[in-house]
């Protein structure tokens, strides 16, 4: 974590102390007697030492001392050579001229990926002190990790940085210590690395609350000798009692750590001299029966403190943690805590489903995350049992939070979005207005398309423009339901506005046709008429007209009957081209993002699924959908505001009636061959008729009315029929 200081002058010789420490690392690795390529670790050391040769730590020692110590920690954790090499190389990409490509060429894909991962984790700075952000940060770090070794190296790196934090400025110390306490210690805990976690916590404690730390450690130190002596004494006494009662048991004893004592002080709002159970003992026996037997023996020997007996054996915690807890007091007034469990319960508590961290963090109920962490932790434990675990670890690709992505605002706020989210989702997560007026986005300073898929750890900047409105296209790629709802809402509002405008125009024109005008019509009359159709305001009426749920004639005829005999309402003219096609029950069509509208295929062209189409708001009959090639479209579209975007909806059994005219030279077997082609495609034939040639040399026309699934099927059938030798032409007629 220390910024390397460039050192002018020639490359200094490798420090003797450094070399000696490196030899110790080699010895550690050789002692494993594994088949690991120690030569690669060797090359990694010299490569890193060379690249860091001009750099020193704030402490004054060669920079290389840091990666070397990190490698030692990893070797002590019994991790594989990839981890150790990554430990040696982990700062070369961030702090020297080395590149990931170079590392890949020299040390292979595995090491390169791990070094890259550690480098990326290092760039994610914890910039907030908000509690709820800490949890997201922990998840982010784990989510960024596709290889668990990256986290392990990062933890070792952090541990060494914490051990050497004294050389930094107080401000940096505080920042790093806070990050360690909030982010890294909990991660270590979850991964079952209790030892590292304890050390990280105690170190962070010493920097964050130096006075309290001093006080607690001084107190613990003052009691250490007495406590250790007492612990030994009690352990022996316990062992003896168990033997006498023929309870097979092993005893573990420990003194509480400074940070855990401190937390207890805070939690219980008590003074140091009131913390009695600085000592804790564990009795591990063979059976549930003997757990209770041991409890009886202990209570027989020492006086139990009331209300401190907890039976998690009969009633396990939600995370399956099981143990008997009791606190007792000696005749001399000394108190200590005892936990009693079977070997099996012990294993579960130590290695199992993060029972430990959940117990301490007072969580309830296992969830999906717990299960993933438990699995991860299990993997870490398995690999420590293996002698040569490289293959095992390298085959491991983890994705801890596959349904989420974690990104930052420019101010460092962490935003959690569904995986696959885009800058639009991010913008809506910031603020509805930011989402609605979003016109562009930068990711880590680089402009990206709005449909760009965000990755963990990226920093986003959203560009907005006043007066901009969300586009319907966005619905095609946004991932968060928040963005989706907001976009739909504003599109619907805009469509409704447009429908109202159209509705008003329609009504006005219809009124004019009947020699009156909207102005001359009484609003109350209109509303009274509209009321029967469920519209209580003029805007509802206009919208109903605009969406085509209502015809202006329906309204006007009501008014006419009531109060305006001067209005002549003619019978509804037949607008054949717009009449709903009653042969097709429910057309698989949708007006984009509008649910409540009548929609049908125009009879003039009968478009079929897959064909380019356009919608047209008719007078009072909903939306007519025409093929873009329909000759009527040109005529209809002079009223541009009536145009509306439509698209085909997926509908499993949709069938479209279409009429094909086949022009052929007369042949006896022709109908058979045509129906053969159609039945191969499972096309239903509704009607066949044929007309003899008009001229002696002219073709015979066979008209087929068929039910097709989509335009692709139409193309296939047309092609096959055209390929018949005696077929001159196949054409599709719009009308059925
Ligand atoms: Mn480092």
Which pairing describes strands 279-285 and 335-342: parallel, antiparallel, or unpaired?
parallel
Residues in the chain: 736
Catalytic position from the list 69, 80, 95, 199: 95
Q: Residue 428 above 60 pLDDT? A: yes
Q: Which of 127-136, 153-162, 457-466, 490-499 has the lowest mean pLDDT?
A: 127-136
Of 638, 649, 648, 641, which is closest to residue 607 (Cα–Cα)? 648
Cα of 359 vs centre of ligand 1, distance in Å, is 32
Q: What is the mean pLDDT of the chain?
A: 80
Q: For tokens 């139990």, name the residue.
A: 304
Which pairing describes strands 324-329 and 310-311: parallel, antiparallel, or unpaired?
antiparallel
Which pairing describes strands 646-648 and 5-6: parallel, antiparallel, or unpaired?
unpaired
Distance CA(284)–CA(495), nearest Å, equals 71
pLDDT for position 247: 94
210: confidence class by pLDDT, cuts 50, 70, 90:
very high
Catalytic position from the list 42, 61, 94, 135: 94
Q: Residue 368 above 50 pLDDT? A: no
Q: What percent of the chain has pLDDT over 70?
A: 79
Of 218, 214, 354, 330, which is closest to residue 281 (Cα–Cα)? 330
Q: Kindly tell me the number of DSSP H helices and DSSP E strands found in the chain.
A: 27, 23
95 is catalytic: yes
425 is catalytic: no
CA distances from 464 to 413, 420, 441 (A): 19, 22, 9
Give, as residue ranges, everything with CB less than 5 Å from ion ligand 1: 91, 157
Of 487, 488, 505, which is closest to residue 642 (Cα–Cα)? 505
Cα of 699 vs centre of ligand 1, distance in Å, is 86
Distance CA(245)–CA(678), nearest Å, equals 91
Query: Does residue 343 contact residue 290 with C-beta atoms inside 8 Å?
Result: no
Distance CA(689)–CA(709), nearest Å, equals 22
Cα of 66 vs centre of ligand 1, distance in Å, is 7
Q: Residue 694 above 50 pLDDT? A: yes
pLDDT for position 111: 92
Q: Residue 4 above 70 pLDDT? A: no
Cα of 90 vs centre of ligand 1, distance in Å, is 6
pLDDT for position 599: 78
Written as six digits, the tokens of 237 are 């006494």
Of 631, 622, 627, 621, which is closest to residue 658 (Cα–Cα)? 627
Q: Which residue has the higher pLDDT, 468 or 620?
A: 468
Average pLDDT over residues 480-496: 89
Average pLDDT over residues 637-651: 72
Cα of 458 vs centre of ligand 1, distance in Å, is 21
Q: Is the dihedral of CA 53, 172, 202, 310 positive or negative?
A: negative
Cα of 153 vs centre of ligand 1, distance in Å, is 9
As a dihedral over the C-alpha atoms of residue 368, residue 351, residue 298, residue 247, rounded to 10 degrees, the angle is 120
User: Residue 198: helix, strand or coil by DSSP?
Assistant: helix
Q: Which of 70-74, 216-220, 373-377, 599-603 has the lowest mean pLDDT?
A: 373-377
pLDDT for position 567: 53
Map 320-361 to HEC letters: CCCCEEEEEECCCCCEEEEEEEEHHHHHHHHHCCCHHHHHHH
Express each pLDDT in 255-305 by its tens digit: 788 998 898 888 877 777 766 667 889 999 999 999 999 999 999 999 998
Q: Which of 62-76, 297-311, 423-437, 722-736 has the lowest mean pLDDT?
A: 722-736
Average pLDDT over residues 511-521: 72
The pTM score is 0.58
pLDDT for position 435: 94
Cα of 168 vs centre of ligand 1, distance in Å, is 14
- Residue 663's Cβ-count burial label (10 Å; 0-12, 13-18, 19+) is middle
Q: Residue 390 above 70 pLDDT? A: no
Distance CA(713)–CA(681), nearest Å, equals 8
């Amino acid at each position: 974590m220390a910024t390397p200081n460039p050192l002018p002058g020639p490359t200094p010789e490798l420090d003797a102390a450094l070399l000696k420490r490196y030899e110790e690392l080699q010895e550690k690795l050789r002692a494993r007697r594994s088949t690991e390529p120690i030569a690669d670790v060797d090359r990694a050391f010299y490569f890193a030492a060379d690249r860091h040769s001009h750099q020193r730590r704030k402490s004054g020692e060669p920079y290389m001392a840091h990666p070397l110590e990190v490698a030692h920690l990893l070797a002590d954790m019994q991790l594989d050579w990839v981890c150790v090499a990554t430990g040696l190389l982990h700062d070369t990409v961030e702090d020297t001229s080395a590149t990931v490509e170079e590392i890949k060429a020299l040390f292979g894909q595995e090491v390169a990926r791990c070094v890259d991962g550690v480098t990326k984790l290092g760039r994610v700075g914890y910039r907030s002190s908000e509690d709820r952000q800490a949890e997201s940060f922990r998840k982010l770090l784990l989510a960024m990790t596709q290889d668990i070794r990256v986290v392990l190296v990062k933890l070792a790196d952090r541990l060494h940085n914490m051990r050497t934090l004294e050389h930094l400025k107080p401000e940096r110390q505080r920042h790093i210590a806070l990050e360690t306490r909030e982010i890294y210690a909990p991660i270590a805990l979850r991964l079952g690395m209790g030892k590292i976690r304890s050390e990280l916590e105690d170190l962070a404690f010493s920097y964050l609350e130096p006075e309290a730390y001093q006080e607690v450690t001084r107190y613990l130190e003052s009691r250490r000798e007495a406590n250790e002596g007492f612990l030994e004494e009690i352990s022996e006494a316990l062992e003896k009692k168990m033997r006498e009662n023929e309870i097979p048991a092993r005893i573990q004893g420990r003194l509480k750590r400074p940070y855990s004592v401190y937390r207890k002080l805070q939690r219980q709002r008590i003074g140091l001299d009131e913390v009695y159970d600085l000592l804790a003992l564990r009795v591990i026996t063979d059976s549930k029966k003997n757990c209770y037997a041991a409890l009886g023996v202990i209570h027989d020997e020492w006086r139990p403190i009331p209300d401190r007996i907890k039976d998690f054996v009969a009633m396990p915690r939600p995370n399956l943690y099981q143990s008997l807890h009791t606190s007792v007091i000696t005749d001399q007034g000394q108190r200590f805590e005892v936990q009693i469990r079977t070997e099996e319960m012990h294993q579960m508590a130590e290695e199992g489903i993060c029972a430990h961290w959940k117990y301490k963090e007072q969580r309830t109920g296992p969830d999906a995350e717990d299960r993933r962490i438990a699995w991860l932790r299990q993997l870490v434990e398995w690999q420590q049992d293996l002698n040569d675990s490289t293959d095992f670890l390298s085959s491991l690709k983890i994705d801890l939070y596959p349904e989420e992505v974690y990104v930052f605002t420019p101010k460092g706020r962490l935003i959690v979005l569904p995986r696959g989210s885009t800058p639009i989702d991010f913008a809506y997560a910031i603020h509805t207005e930011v989402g609605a007026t979003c016109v562009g986005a930068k990711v880590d300073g680089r402009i990206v398309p709005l449909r760009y898929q965000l990755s963990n750890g990226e920093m986003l900047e959203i560009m907005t423009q006043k007066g901009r409105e969300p586009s319907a296209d966005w619905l095609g790629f946004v991932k968060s339901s928040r963005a989706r709802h907001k976009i739909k809402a504003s599109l619907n509002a805009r469509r409704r506005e447009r429908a109202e405008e159209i509705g008003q125009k329609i009504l006005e024109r219809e009124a004019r046709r009947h020699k009156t005008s909207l102005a001359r019509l009484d609003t109350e009359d209109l509303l009274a008429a509209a009321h029967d159709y469920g519209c209580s305001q003029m805007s509802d009426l206009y919208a109903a007209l605009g969406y085509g749920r209502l015809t202006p004639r329906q309204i006007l005829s009501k008014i006419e009957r009531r109060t305006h005999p001067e209005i002549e309402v003619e019978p509804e003219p037949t607008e054949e081209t717009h009449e709903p096609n009653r042969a097709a029950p429910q057309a698989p069509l949708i007006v984009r993002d509008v649910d409540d509208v009548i929609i049908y295929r125009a009879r003039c062209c009968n478009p079929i699924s897959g064909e380019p189409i356009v919608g047209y708001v008719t007078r009072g009959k909903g939306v007519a959908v025409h093929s873009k090639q329909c000759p009527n479209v040109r005529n209809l579209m002079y009223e541009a505001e009536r145009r509306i975007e439509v698209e085909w909806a997926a509908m499993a059994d949709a069938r479209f009636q279409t009429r094909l005219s086949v022009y052929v030279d007369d042949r006896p077997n022709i109908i058979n061959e045509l129906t053969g082609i159609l039945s191969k495609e499972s096309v239903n034939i509704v009607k066949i008729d044929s007309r003899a040639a008009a001229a002696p040399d002219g073709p015979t026309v066979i008209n087929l009315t068929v039910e097709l699934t989509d335009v692709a099927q139409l193309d296939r059938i047309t092609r096959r029929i055209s390929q018949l030798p005696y077929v001159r032409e196949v054409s599709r007629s719009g009308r059925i």
